[in-house]
Chains A and B, each alone.
Chain A
Amino acid sequence: MRQGLVRALGGAAIVALVAGAAACNSGNNGGGSSSGKNCGFKIAYFGALTGSAANLGVNIEQGAELAVKQYNDKNGANCITIQKFDSQGDPAVAPGVARQLVTDKKIIGIVGPPFSGESEAADPIFEEAMIPTITPSATRPSLSTHGWKVFHRAVANDDSQGPAAAKYIKDVLKPTKVFVADDQSAYGAGLADVVKQQLGALVVGTDKTGADGKQTDFSATVQKVVSSGATVFFYGGYYQNAGLIRKQLTAAGWKGTQLGGDGVKDPGFAKAAGNAAATGSIVTCPCSPASKAGGSFVTDYKAAWNQDAGTYSDVAFDAMNIFLKGIDGGNTTPQKMNDYLKGVQYQGVANTYKFTDTGELDPQYIKVWAFKFDASGVDQPDQEIPKG
């Protein structure tokens, strides 16, 4: 008897689970179109919203969503919908989610994918469906060499950022000993390799750490930095690990300067390191200071999400605005949108955008700036790093 009851309960639990999942079905196809002239279209965000890289993905998604909110404030609520697709930042998950995305015929543009790995896996599907993408953050140089017509990159790739970082180290900091480490991500290792190559004999030691969330104890790396006698430490990776290392370096009594790429340009760096340790740390970024471009992006973002804009939030905001401007211009099919992107020139909050034939940012608009964290944990513009 008792066993029968248990079985029945177990069965009921499973049925409840399935039914519960089924009940949630209805919420998905809301968001009716309003009556504006170019309304009822969707722009997708495709990228990580859960998983270990969720913090980076959410920064980007919120930046893009802010642009849509501001647009809808002007053009009627629900005019343009941002449809979110969670790839978990995982190239193994991305293709299935991408195939789901392309079945939605109302989607005429995609902000994302944020990471290079998932771009490699998902972009062929977008290419075949001919839905234009603008990635705000996938910086692997090889992405533009596959001949994808729908691929557009709103940031400079690693090939332009790395040399600038190296130049800044050589010309501004003028150290005699540099230590270079990276988190073994495609982004971090790619950047660190370029920096190592450019600095040559200045590099007295190197190390590789785990990725964000995989490692928190960096005592071995810290030990190597300290005993190498380096006065400058370059970390190729993202802001959480960079902040943790900075904190642990300071705790170990190391007094040099830490540098990072645009993946570190985030208030989260100071949050992880603590303002005291973060002060004086440098990040290079192929973007212009927000104050240069004017606009109220920083305050708007804070008002909308109750947190500071993070890495690439501004680029995602710009990328979404490029699409929205395209919709204003009547480019309401993926094909028209893609043609429009080929010729667009747009001044956003982070940069001015114009794409080359391969989808890269036009070299004349690639400016690399250095930013320095101040005592309140904010990255202030330091100087523009000249080319060459």
Chain B
Amino acid sequence: MTTVEQRPRPRQVNRRPNGRGVRGWFGRQPRPVRAAVVLVALAVAYALPYVGSVPGIGPQIETQGIDWPSALFNMSYYVLLALGLNVVVGFAGLLDLGYVGFFAVGAYTVALLTSPDSDLKTHWPWLLSIPVAIAVAMLSGLILGWPTLRLRGDYLAIVTLGFAEIIRIFADSNTHLRGDRGFGGLPHPPGKYSDGTPIFGVRDATPYFWLGLSVIVVVILGIRNLDRSRVGRSWLAIREDEEAAAIMGVRTVKYKLWAFAIGACVGGLGGVMFAGQNGFMNSATFVLQFSILILAGVVMGGSGNIAGAILGGALISYIPDRLRGQQIGNLDAYEYRFLLFGLAIILIMIFRPQGLIPSRRRAMELKDRAKEVAPQ
């Protein structure tokens, strides 16, 4: 009998993250505990419309100048947009300043297909228009992605900005897109309570928030899986060093287009949700400042990190809404709302340059990169 060669067993690599703080703790927990924590967090999120009845802190969280469930719904589509933009900017490292373009494409497709004001006169229900809107948004992502494949960094930024401006100008000026006159009578999502009143009415925004939240959960699952798959690793490689990635056999063209298409798809979905809730939409919504805000949200939250994008997206909607209808001393805060918001952005970025919830992977890369010549 030959003795089985006693290979020294490689030391069990501790694959669990060992970071400090809440996230480190979370990473070290066994699967059931983590699942339980996620479920509790979800339950809390779904209960947010009723936060006002929590004594003490509850009324402080609620917005005053805008209906709280509506503010939550607004946050939900901002979060959706931030998640989508995070794929493009955070994962693939492609700076997109015109993300609102996809939001517009999604919303306009819904409006054209469903509104009685539309020249198409199709009068589709909201639900039926969703797949078409998403497909059109994805297509527009590819259309934007294709001519910009060779561009890097800030050149890409200005082209994406131009793309969104072109969409906005056509929305403003094209007679079929109705410009400022807009589309009225957009149908709401389907569903009725047992007494015949619609679930998705005009008075109560809570169902819309729940719908938005559910869509967010689905999107998070999808994006998270992608990020952890071959696609996500390719994005990482492209973000780090495009030439090196190409040499190593990563098909950069394909995966960059994927990033644009998926980002566009989520953005379009945001537009679909917006149109379904608002009942009316016109070109005034799709301004450039909106893209810039979403980008600020993603970076503020922590570019490249799903939790960061969620937090950032929620904050950029929440801070101005929370300051609405407030008084500071004798001054009405509404005048100063965006001034304070700008200050908040600067402070957050100065104190947390990597974002509120930094991406660990990016933090490590940046540490590496700090040694390179960085002209900062």
A and B touch in the complex (CB under 8 A): yes
Interface centre among A18, A91, A142 (most CB of B within 10 A): A91
Q: Are A50 and B337 in contact (CB under 8 A)?
A: yes
Q: Are B202 and A124 in contact (CB under 8 A)?
A: yes
Q: Which of B69, B73, B184, B319 contacts A17 (CB 8 A)?
A: B319
Residue of A nearest to B181 (CB): A186
Q: Report the separation of the CA atoms of residues A91 and B181 in the bound assembly, to the nearest whole angstrom.
A: 11
Q: Are B180 and A9 in contact (CB under 8 A)?
A: no
Q: Report the separation of the CA atoms of residues A211 and B172 in the bound assembly, to the nearest whole angstrom.
A: 10
B179 at the interface (CB under 8 A from A): yes
B74 at the interface (CB under 8 A from A): yes
Q: Are B67 and A100 in contact (CB under 8 A)?
A: yes
Q: Which of B184, B281, B324, B351 contacts A86 (CB 8 A)?
A: B324
Q: Which of B67, B278, B344 contacts A121 (CB 8 A)?
A: B278
Q: Given A13-B348, A85-B65, does the pair A120, B182 have CB atoms closer than 8 Å?
A: yes
A120 contact set on B, CB distance < 8 A: 182, 184, 279-280
Q: Are B70 and A102 in contact (CB under 8 A)?
A: no
Q: Are B279 and A124 in contact (CB under 8 A)?
A: yes
Smallest beta-carbon distance A119→chain B, Å: 9
Q: Are A102 and B66 in contact (CB under 8 A)?
A: no
B207 at the interface (CB under 8 A from A): no
Q: Are B334 and A91 in contact (CB under 8 A)?
A: no
Q: Report the separation of the CA atoms of residues A384 and B207 in the bound assembly, to the nearest whole angstrom.
A: 52
Residue-wise interface mask of B (38-75) relative to A, using a CB-CB cutoff of 8 A (1 in contact, 0 not): 00000000000000000000011001111101110110
Q: Are B281 and A91 in contact (CB under 8 A)?
A: yes
Q: Which of B60, B67, B180, B324 contacts A189 (CB 8 A)?
A: B180
Residue of A nearest to B333 (CB): A24
A98 contact set on B, CB distance < 8 A: 67
A21 at the interface (CB under 8 A from B): yes
Residue-wise interface mask of B (312-337) relative to A, using a CB-CB cutoff of 8 A (1 in contact, 0 not): 00000001011111111000111101
Q: Are A117 and B203 in contact (CB under 8 A)?
A: no
> Can you list 30 pairs linking A and B with CB atoms under 8 Å apart?
A6-B352, A10-B348, A10-B352, A21-B323, A21-B326, A25-B60, A27-B327, A27-B328, A28-B325, A28-B327, A84-B325, A85-B325, A91-B182, A95-B202, A95-B205, A96-B74, A96-B321, A97-B67, A98-B67, A99-B205, A103-B67, A117-B282, A117-B284, A120-B280, A124-B202, A184-B172, A184-B180, A185-B180, A186-B282, A189-B180
Q: With contacts A9-B351, A91-B182, A117-B180 known, what are 16 further pairs, Cβ within 8 A?
A: A7-B352, A13-B351, A14-B356, A25-B64, A27-B328, A91-B281, A91-B285, A92-B284, A95-B277, A95-B279, A96-B66, A96-B74, A100-B70, A120-B184, A121-B279, A184-B173
